[in-house]
Chains A and B, each alone.
Chain A
Amino acid sequence: MAHDGNDTHGLRPSPLLGSGSPRGRLNSFPLWQNVLILLVVCIGIIYAAPNLYQPDPAVQIRSINSEVVISARTEQRVADLLANSQVEALGMEMLKDSLLVRVADDQTQLRAQAIIAKGLNEAGVDYVVALAQASNTPAWLRDVGGKSMSLGLDLFGGAHFLLQVNMREYIQNLIANSAEGMRDKLIDERIRFVPGREWVSGQTITIAFRDDETRASARVALEAYQDFIVQERELAGNPTLRFTLTDEKILALEDRAISQNLTSLRNRVNELGVSEPQVQRLGRSRIVVDLPGIQDSARAKEILNKFANLEFRLEALPNARRSQIETYPYQGRDQGIMRRNIVTGNNVQDAQQNFDPETNQPQVSIELDNEGGRKMHSVTKDNVGRSMAILFIEQKPRVRTVDKEGEAVEEFYTVEDRRLISVATIQSALGFNFRITGLNLREAQDLALLLRAGALAAPMYIVEERTVGAQLGEDNIRRGWQSVVLGFSLVLVFMLFYYRGFGLAANLALTANLTLLVAIMSVLGATLTLPGIAGIVLTVGMAVDANVLIFSRIREELKNHPPQRAIQAGFDRALLTITDANVTTFFVAIILLSIGSGPVRGFAVTLAVGIVTSMFTAILVTRALVNLFYGSRKLETIKI
């Protein structure tokens, strides 16, 4: 057929390229290989397709009260609310635990959100009404896992926060609290220790005793403090117990604190009216919060690093030990309360802000969990007639500039604000439900939200914040799209003009490349950002390189070989060069990915994926196309 007689050594079977050519043709893939390439490209088209369907603006309704379920009744109520205000909904969908209302445009979306939020939450805050995007991807595409790329904050608008968890303070507090707990325990068990010495030093708590027997019984009494390693020492003639936190234990505790903070943050941002908030850990002690499309970033910030909690404590009796008492001002006098908590906000199951029906003052209705309810009941039933105090604790992150080795460094620390918000007589044994009064409206709302969400285990402060307005987002999308179209067309025209038929093959391969790139990014769930678009554009420019290498090589080989042989040699010889060049660029992309943050990562992901897809399309897809165009023909000359 098309091969040349003097070229038999080119026909030795190779495992990948050119083996099993029908009738010994030089430039043809076996059928299975063509089918495979076609299959990959088709799958690429399917998974890239969801990006073609523009989502509708929508309003998403979720319940934040465990007792309120989104049901057909909710749907009916929402429909009535919208109908009463003459807002047209394009459709409603019940999802797993939310209701999605499609509307025609952005303005309607904002109006619908306001109307629904006001209407549904008349009785109390039970629902979150968030701006969302309703996918228009056909069901069959969604069934096979197709989804469109989500837009990054720079394209969609929204807010990004980077929070630093103050681990040092967390661990110090933890040790101090443990020491206090140990002291209380020993006093309760009437185990005598040597007073007057500072217990806490760094990561250790040291307690001295008069004799070995007391120490032995103390050791048993304090067995619950599993986080510490216990050692028996002699110090200044006294037998002592030494409790030490090991470094590994600290790491584990930090992990626990971070995951509790993450949970609490997720619950908090869930109530902010954002449809797809992201809360993720970054490195050892940081948390990233992305709130796409959020309108009021100031409110978000207020909620994010707010640390507020409650402690329920008994009033101090006159005969209580001084070390067991704390004193706070309350209604113009000093009120002594016990140091020990009955329960804290951590035992709260649910909290709602509403109004006292008699005084019309804001209040917070609280429901305790099992453990909290049990404790509360057992303590209050023995103390009827005594007062119970509620302590409101708020931590505020602050900053100061300190002089460190001649350099001004900003230091973050936390100031704690503790105040009594109520002292009331226990009339009868209490159970699971309470009302708390004595707060202003804003405080009551925030407290309810924070108690619902769970307390932060460790204090945090904002170290980076980025807000992108919707207008800039739209501009960025438009510009990004324009540069992709412009860049892509310039390259296509040039290739067609310069390489003719081969250029067409390269252009088809380049289109396949772009499709595969988009498909993989969509499947990976990557977020599209402006630098990501830049990465796509750059990939388009650079992906051509592999084809250029091949075509230049074919041109050269044409001087010494007949066309079919030259085509084969061109592809084969360029392969090694292409691999070398791409592998090194891939390294660079991986380095970018591992050290970069935010915008750099978006770029690196596209670059890395682009290298993989362009290797596939430039080598295999182009080859298949060239085989198709030229492989079966007897060629005297070719234009390239």
Chain B
Amino acid sequence: MSQFNIDFMGGRRWAGLLSGVLLLAAVTSLLYQGLDLGLDFTGGSLVEVELAEEVNPETVRGFLQAEGFVNGTVQTFGSSTALLIEMPPQRLDQGDAENLVDLAEAQAGLGERVFRAMASEYPGTVLRQSNYVGPAVGDELAEDGGLALLTALIVVMFYILFRFTKQFSVGAVAALAHDVLIVLGCFSIFRWTFDLTVLAALLAVIGYSLNDTIVVSDRIRENFRKIRKGQSVDVINVSLNQTLGRTLVTSLTTLFVLLALLFAGGEVIRGFASALSIGIVVGTYSSIYVAASILLTMNISREDLLVPEKEQSENEDGSYP
């Protein structure tokens, strides 16, 4: 688009530095602080209750402790009268036959007992939700989640290798890995809970960021074939400027709906909306500064994109055969 004429690639060293710093922070935090994994992955019990009046979470924690529910955490959830009570899996000692209780009582029934205790201490308490995830299921979900992320990256890499060239393929996957790491880093640094919906959001970020990268790559490929003169840097700059309008509009409309989810969607969807909002900002940036920069780093040239004969007519003059 003519109204933009920004030398994107001129600033790519600074952008590289910025990405490097962000990635370093993300990875360091992930390594040392880790993720605040939600119930879906850790296993355990979670009870959300709505109290008739405001009660200090610490008081509730003390009360539950006295009732024999140890190691729990209590926090307000959304409003000051809604409390989220989390309990780690209750361990039973090996060989302690006397203490072996029905599974239903020991594990899956924990949430219920917590609620009953709460309801008798604080009259008018309403159960909003109660979740129990067994440790085995949690481990599996975590494994499947990791597997899904990797599968998505690999499938994408091969598809782009097939549709474009290896430089584009490496660029796109690097951009995706960059986005995923930074979103994960944010969740680690700010101690936001990482649950199953956030994982879904992360995969959606891959989808979105990829969409963006492909639109940019598509234009770069087209321009390499069309513009006979000029350095690779110039071709890429022209392409980025041409797609900038579209990139901004799409990111903006998507951000609109995400903000709607963030502000109107409530607590359950907050993690999801935050992960996607960050992902979309980072994803837009990475299509330009990671995917496109890598093309230059890997010395992409016109020869890499020589058009096979039968595609010629379609891309030369835009008319359809």
Q: In the bound complex, what is the Cα–Cα distance between A119 and B108 (angstroms)? A: 34
| Contact partners of A580 in chain B: CB under 8 A | 163, 214, 218
User: Is B242 in the interface zone, CB < 8 Å from A?
Assistant: yes
Q: In the bound complex, what is the Cα–Cα distance between A288 and B88 (angstroms)? A: 23
Q: In the bound complex, what is the Cα–Cα distance between A494 and B263 (angstroms)? A: 19
| Contact partners of B258 in chain A: CB under 8 A | 487, 537-538, 541
- The minimal Cβ–Cβ distance linking A55 to chain B, given in whole angstroms, is 23
Q: Is the CB of A472 within 8 A of B242?
A: no
Q: Is the CB of A487 within 8 A of B197?
A: no
Q: In the bound complex, what is the Cα–Cα distance between A559 and B1 (angstroms)? A: 10
Q: Is the CB of A538 within 8 A of B204?
A: yes
Of A464, A469, A577, A595, which contacts B126 at CB under 8 A? A469
* Contacts across chains A and B counted by CB atoms under 8 Å: 274
Q: Is the CB of B148 within 8 A of A412?
A: no
In the complex where A398-B102, A400-B94, A487-B256 touch, is A552 in contact with B321 (Cβ < 8 A)? no
Q: Is the CB of B208 within 8 A of A463?
A: no
Q: In the bound complex, what is the Cα–Cα distance between A10 and B313 (angstroms)? A: 12
User: Is B310 in the interface zone, CB < 8 Å from A?
Assistant: no
Q: Is the CB of A467 within 8 A of B210?
A: no
In the complex where A463-B137, A580-B218, A600-B200 touch, is A534 in contact with B254 (Cβ < 8 A)? no
Q: Is the CB of A462 within 8 A of B104?
A: yes
Q: For residues 466 through 480 of chain A, which have their beta carbon under 8 Å from a beta carbon of chain B?
A: 466-469, 471-472, 475-476, 479-480
Q: For residues 261 through 284 of chain A, which have their beta carbon under 8 Å from a beta carbon of chain B?
A: none
Q: Is the CB of B264 within 8 A of A538?
A: no
Of A18, A467, A531, which contacts B272 at CB under 8 A? A531
| Contact partners of A600 in chain B: CB under 8 A | 196-197, 199-200
Q: In the bound complex, what is the Cα–Cα distance between A578 and B156 (angstroms)? A: 16
Q: Is the CB of A592 within 8 A of B214?
A: no
A549-588 CB mask vs B (1 if < 8 Å, else 0) is: 1001001110100000000010011001100111111011
User: Is A401 in the interface zone, CB < 8 Å from B?
Assistant: yes
Of B1, B145, B147, B256, which contacts A555 at CB under 8 A? B1
| Contact partners of B257 in chain A: CB under 8 A | 483, 487-488, 490-491, 537-538, 540-541
Q: In the bound complex, what is the Cα–Cα distance between A9 and B317 (angstroms)? A: 10
Q: Which residue of B lies closest to A482 (CB)?
A: B264
Q: Is the CB of B102 within 8 A of A396?
A: yes
Q: In the bound complex, what is the Cα–Cα distance between A490 and B112 (angstroms)? A: 42
Q: Is the CB of B320 within 8 A of A607?
A: no
User: Is A149 in the interface zone, CB < 8 Å from B?
Assistant: no
Q: Is the CB of B148 within 8 A of A595?
A: yes
A396-416 CB mask vs B (1 if < 8 Å, else 0) is: 111111110000111010000
Q: Is the CB of A10 within 8 A of B106?
A: no
In the complex where A9-B319, A487-B261 touch, is A604 in contact with B200 (Cβ < 8 A)? yes
User: Is B291 in the interface zone, CB < 8 Å from A?
Assistant: no
Q: Is the CB of B319 within 8 A of A541?
A: no
Q: In the bound complex, what is the Cα–Cα distance between A302 and B218 (angstroms)? A: 58
Q: In the bound complex, what is the Cα–Cα distance between A302 and B102 (angstroms)? A: 11
10 shortest A-B CB distances, which residue pairs?
A487-B257, A487-B260, A463-B134, A541-B257, A541-B254, A486-B260, A588-B207, A490-B256, A483-B264, A479-B266
Q: In the bound complex, what is the Cα–Cα distance between A604 and B260 (angstroms)? A: 20
A272-311 CB mask vs B (1 if < 8 Å, else 0) is: 0000000000000000000000000110011001000000
In the complex where A475-B266, A491-B257 touch, is A587 in contact with B245 (Cβ < 8 A)? no
In the complex where A397-B102, A545-B250 touch, is A592 in contact with B155 (Cβ < 8 A)? no
Q: In the bound complex, what is the Cα–Cα distance between A69 and B215 (angstroms)? A: 63
Q: In the bound complex, what is the Cα–Cα distance between A352 and B112 (angstroms)? A: 30
Q: In the bound complex, what is the Cα–Cα distance between A487 and B91 (angstroms)? A: 45
- The minimal Cβ–Cβ distance linking B169 to chain A, given in whole angstroms, is 12
User: Is A99 in the interface zone, CB < 8 Å from B?
Assistant: no
Of B102, B156, B264, which contacts A587 at CB under 8 A? B156
Q: For residues 135 through 179 of chain B, which have their beta carbon under 8 Å from a beta carbon of chain A?
A: 135-137, 141, 144-145, 147-148, 151-152, 155-156, 159-160, 163
Pick the most buried of A482, A541, A583, A592: most chain B CB atoms within 10 A of its CB. Answer: A541
| Contact partners of B259 in chain A: CB under 8 A | 490
- Residues of A whose CB lies within 8 Å of any CB of B are 9-10, 12, 14, 17-18, 154, 162, 164, 297-298, 301-302, 305, 396-403, 408-410, 412, 461-469, 471-472, 475-476, 479-480, 482-484, 486-488, 490-491, 494-495, 498, 530-531, 534, 537-538, 540-542, 544-545, 548-549, 552, 555-557, 559, 569, 572-573, 576-577, 580-585, 587-589, 591-592, 595-600, 603-604, 607
User: Is B2 in the interface zone, CB < 8 Å from A?
Assistant: yes
Of A402, A467, A495, A576, which contacts B111 at CB under 8 A? A467
Q: In the bound complex, what is the Cα–Cα distance between A494 and B260 (angstroms)? A: 14
| Contact partners of B268 in chain A: CB under 8 A | 154, 476, 530
A-side interface mostly:
helix
Q: Contact residue range for chain B?
A: 35 or more
Q: In the bound complex, what is the Cα–Cα distance between A572 and B253 (angstroms)? A: 23
Q: In the bound complex, what is the Cα–Cα distance between A9 and B95 (angstroms)? A: 85
Q: Is the CB of B249 within 8 A of A569?
A: no
User: Is B86 in the interface zone, CB < 8 Å from A?
Assistant: no
User: Is B252 in the interface zone, CB < 8 Å from A?
Assistant: yes
Of A403, A462, A584, which contacts B103 at CB under 8 A? A462
User: Is B246 in the interface zone, CB < 8 Å from A?
Assistant: yes
Of B155, B218, B260, B319, which contacts A10 at CB under 8 A? B319
Q: Which residue of B lies closest to A559 (CB)?
A: B2
Q: Is the CB of B211 within 8 A of A585?
A: yes
- The minimal Cβ–Cβ distance linking B208 to chain A, given in whole angstroms, is 7
| Contact partners of B135 in chain A: CB under 8 A | 409-410
User: Is B184 in the interface zone, CB < 8 Å from A?
Assistant: no
| Contact partners of A548 in chain B: CB under 8 A | 246, 249-250, 253
Q: List 19 A-B contacts (CB under 8 A).
A: A12-B319, A12-B320, A397-B102, A408-B91, A463-B134, A467-B130, A471-B128, A472-B128, A483-B261, A534-B273, A537-B260, A552-B249, A577-B218, A580-B163, A587-B159, A588-B155, A596-B200, A597-B144, A600-B196
| Contact partners of B269 in chain A: CB under 8 A | 479, 483, 530-531, 534
Q: In the bound complex, what is the Cα–Cα distance between A496 and B247 (angstroms)? A: 18
| Contact partners of A544 in chain B: CB under 8 A | 249-250, 253-254
B102-144 CB mask vs A (1 if < 8 Å, else 0) is: 1110111101100000000000001111111111110001001
Of A412, A466, A482, A598, which contacts B129 at CB under 8 A? A466
In the complex where A464-B134, A465-B108 touch, is A12 in contact with B321 (Cβ < 8 A)? yes
User: Is B276 in the interface zone, CB < 8 Å from A?
Assistant: yes
| Contact partners of B163 in chain A: CB under 8 A | 580
Of B203, B214, B261, which contacts A581 at CB under 8 A? B214
Q: Which residue of A lies closest to B203 (CB)?
A: A592
